[in-house]
Structure 1
Amino acid sequence: MNTRAIDMADAVVRRYKTRDPEEIISRRAIKLKDIRYCHDLLGYYTVILNCEYIGINTNCTNAQRVSAMAHELGHALFDRKHASSGQAFQDTYFYSLDNSKAERRANTFAAELLLADDAVLEPIGYYEYTADLKQLEANLPSRCASAYRAMKYQELLQEFQYAHSGLITLDEIARMNSIEKHFVDFKLNILADKGYQLPFLPELHNDFLKDSLKNCNGNEVTMD
């Protein structure tokens, strides 16, 4: 987990008292530009003559726009020196999280910026699950084998998932927050790394954004 990116996102929220990346971009005097004639590019970040620019494709949906701005804002906060050297962030290998430390960091920053912990914990039933865990632990024998304890935890998890199969989906959480679904998945992994015992944890694939970053014409576009 990139703790610097998480700490930076939390600091930005405290400073600007908002999770809206467009407002933060404006208040940081970063120039926001439209991308109109490049269908395979969702967004970019660059620095020209000491002026910062973020470009967003005009064809993207509102959720894509918000998610892209948050991602590019992450580059602005961490990668200005690199961008100042004349290298715009347009990495063609963005879809693989293994390829670039800068991209992984920007994704972590964006997920933490866009979603407060409770924006995900409450809808997935985390607090109800935690209460059930506490009750289980209170009823376990004081000296029981670790294998038995692990078995009871697994049974509780399965029972909770079965009983709460109708809980809100990641798609619904994303729609409620007007962001891309995969940043909800990414946030779940961040929460798990923070130490939360979650009732479920989707697997974060390396190409977790590949299926969603498409413009309105159906062409795949990159985040950078």
Structure 2
Amino acid sequence: MSDVAWSLPFEDQSRLVRALWELETVRKRTSRDLCVSLLERRLGHPLPISRDDKDITDVWHLVDACLPYPGAFHALVEIVEEFHRGSTPMGELRDLVEELLPEPLLSPKERRELDGLLRSLGDRVSEAVEPAAIRALYWKVAGPSGPALAADPGDLWSVLGRLEDLTFSAEGVPPLLAFVEGLAAHAAGPAAAGLRAWADRLAHRLGAARGLPP
């Protein structure tokens, strides 16, 4: 997935860094490297992290790399919790995450499955759907109050990352789910069937309505 979702004000990001720094697993370089490796394995793709020899700066870079990717920071917290479950600093980190970061719509497994389906369409959406159609579909599901689509509409990962941060529509349909259904209508063959099946599973788990906005 591409880095488009959202960012935090400096002070809030600093609070996340300080909360992570209270955990020994994050402070020590060797165990921090292990957490990064486990995180990338769980996400199914590498993170563009700028590493630094100074530990605290390295943690800043880790947080900075996670924030734009939906679900990445939550996945990092779950990994770190395996080493610090029940500790006071871990509880404080959990409380802070609940305050600052919305719960991701997709599970890591769902996001990896969708990533594989998108790759079956090709790296550029123009191979399956014109960017103009993607832009129109985005505004159809995001609605007039949705965030501006600054990303290249040919980059499906960027578009989907932005949609994952949106809440349910008035009709009870997650914009991301409606977008994938619309994308399936433009695709063909196994890719279209795979996208529809993925949308079916997500709708069932969320108990969500289906269909594109009128």
TM bracket (short chain) = under 0.3
Task: Compare relative contact order (CA 8 Å, sep 6+) and give the higher one, 1 or 2.
Answer: 1
TM-score by length of 2: 0.21
TM-score by length of 1: 0.20
For the pair shown, the structure with the greater C-alpha radius of gyration is 1
